[in-house]
Chain A
Amino acid sequence: AQRVTQPEKLLSVFKGAPVELKCNYSYSGSPELFWYVQYSRQRLQLLLRHISRESIKGFTADLNKGETSFHLKKPFAQEEDSAMYYCALMKDSNYQLIWGAGTKLIIKP
């Protein structure tokens, strides 16, 4: 069965410290993986997708097929990074997303 696991419900780090939000997935084929972010009182928005191999707002994520992971990283956290972060996997159907439960990231000043 396809599944996305975000083991941390809450992650709190100091401003300027490195951040790593964990995401593990279970999928038998070639996955397409995403990170979505929801800032306070705002709607869900796409942060990045593994296919484009981009860096958005200083965040990167590398797909590790051996470890079935897609961890989100940023070397120096900023206060405006505080938000809910969701990892999601696209099914073969190419339209349906399977979501993790989310990690709340708090950046302390």
Chain B
Amino acid sequence: GAGVSQSPRYKVAKRGQDVALRCDPISGHVSLFWYQQALGQGPEFLTYFQNEAQLDKSGLPSDRFFAERPEGSVSTLKIQRTQQEDSAVYLCASSLTGRSSGYTFGSGTRLTVV
């Protein structure tokens, strides 16, 4: 596609529910990043993929968070047993190389846990 596509745009989850957030990067982009942006804050790094390999998951806040990119294209961020503190905008970005100067961001998924 022409840009990075994220779905759903909005998600309301009951506490304890599992959610899956999808990112469809620009075709051919090798690198894919997930960021979490809490209200009133800047984005915070979650994880990084190069093709299908997850090279860095140091930013995932707990073992309830899991990300995958099995075929090196679409990526899914899964959050198990959601908590209120998981409420945030989840941003996906892709890049032709690993240089974040070439990031293209998606519109984000706003997750609200009630």
Contact = CB atoms under 8 A, between A and B. Distances in A.
B101 A99 contact: no
B33 A95 contact: yes
Interface residues of A, number: 23
B107 interface: yes
A94 B97 CA distance: 10
Residue among A4, A34, A95, A102 facing the most chain B CB atoms (10 A cut-off): A95
A83 interface: no
A94 B95 CA distance: 12
Contacts, number: 55
Nearest to B58: A96
A100 B106 CA distance: 19
Contacts of A32: 101
A87 to B, nearest CB: 8
A93 interface: yes
A43 interface: yes
B40 interface: yes
A46 B107 contact: no
Interface string A24-60: 0000000010100000000111100101000000000
A70 B100 CA distance: 18
Interface of A: 4, 9, 32, 34, 43-46, 49, 51, 86, 88, 90, 93-102
